[in-house]
Structure 1
Amino acid sequence: MSGVGSALNIFIADTYVLLAKTQACHWNATGANFYAMHLLTEAQYTELFAAVDNLAERARALRQFAPGGLAAMLQLATLEEADCAVPTEQAARMLASDNTAMAEHARDLADEADDADDTATHDMLVARIAVHEKAAWLWRSHLA
């Protein structure tokens, strides 16, 4: 299961990057629908904070050390950092795209966990797929 644990660390790093981007959009996005975005980003970064903790605890259960520190997160992450001082529509596009990528990443990793007979990790990732697909849909609903 060390392969699943190592792959899970990449997912943890991506979750952390998405958390940071979502929170930065909460603080810095401007323009139309700001208040709706402010509320949605707060709900999402709060959920992501709890999720990253649960994912890191699962990595430890798999005898992996979770990535520690921002440099380690950025080294592992596949999501890119971004300037979130952007108009709300641009932020919504970025967050929709990132959540779609996270759902795909979770799907691939869930398959890997299933192949390794790691039901606990598989089930966690299936739940993450639903969360990220819903988040992407919510962000797309803000776009014209």
Structure 2
Amino acid sequence: MVDIGIDKIDRVEIAQGLKHLLADSYTLYLQSHFFHWNVTGPQFRELHLMFEEQYTELALAVDEIAERIRSLGFAAPGTYKQFAELTSIKETANVPDPEDMISTLLVGHEHIAKSCRTMLASAQKVNDESTAGLLSDRMRVHEKTAWMLRSMEN
């Protein structure tokens, strides 16, 4: 039994939101890695390195999110099937051109920033400062990454 000062019904709601965040983050991780491997063109080196920085950061983030779900007393999703059912980020079927890679990642980062902002209010409402801190940190990273991607658009 989990007894951390947050009612079970609130823990369920927060964990469910975190499961969606985990799935979105993992999907964005896969996209960033996919683009890292397949980017071409005059900006190859710059984009290749930037996408690597982004997927490396996301690799650490998914672990932190999953561990918070576990701390709340629930199993973290971890299969492609579970992530596909939980994510709201659209996968890219083909290799897009570099400009579309940037736009796709920008949309993903902005989506996650907005999701974090919504979930933050729920966590704060029940005094779940641990989740609130995680969400605030994630929001800051995604907002900064979105700004950098937006700055690269033509």
* TM-score relative to the length of structure 2: 0.90
Deviations along 1:74-95, one digit per CA (max 9) or x if unpaired, are 1111111113511111100111
Q: Does 1:54 find its partner at 2:54? A: no
Q: Paired residue for 2:50, among 29, 35, 40? A: 40
How far did 1:30 drift?
A: 2.2
Aligned counterparts, 1:1-144, within 5 A: 1-83=11-93, 85-144=95-154
What letter is aligned with 2:109? N
How far did 1:142 drift?
A: 1.2
Can you give the 5+ residue segments of structure 1 that lack an aligned partner in the other structure?
Answer: none
SS of the counterpart of 1:12? helix
What letter is aligned with 2:50? L
Larger Rg: 2
CA contact (8 A) 1:19 1:45 kept: yes
SS of the counterpart of 1:141? helix
Alignment correspondent of 2:7: none
What letter is aligned with 2:116? A
Distance in 1 (alpha carbons) for counterparts of 2:27 and 2:76: 14
Deviations along 1:60-79, one digit per CA (max 9) or x if unpaired, are 00011110211111111111
Most deviating of 29-38 and 85-94: 29-38
CA contact (8 A) 1:28 1:84 kept: no
* TM-score relative to the length of structure 1: 0.96
Can you give the 5+ residue segments of structure 2 that lack an aligned partner in the other structure?
Answer: 1-10
Distance in 2 (alpha carbons) for counterparts of 1:134 and 1:23: 19
Distance in 2 (alpha carbons) for counterparts of 1:42 and 1:84: 19
How far did 1:27 drift?
A: 0.7
Distance in 2 (alpha carbons) for counterparts of 1:13 and 1:125: 15
The ranges of structure 1 where at least 4 consecutive aligned residues each deviate by more than 6 angstroms after the TM superposition are: none
Q: CA RMSD in A?
A: 1.0
Distance in 1 (alpha carbons) for counterparts of 2:119 and 2:14: 7
How far did 1:46 drift?
A: 0.4
Distance in 2 (alpha carbons) for counterparts of 1:84 and 1:15: 20
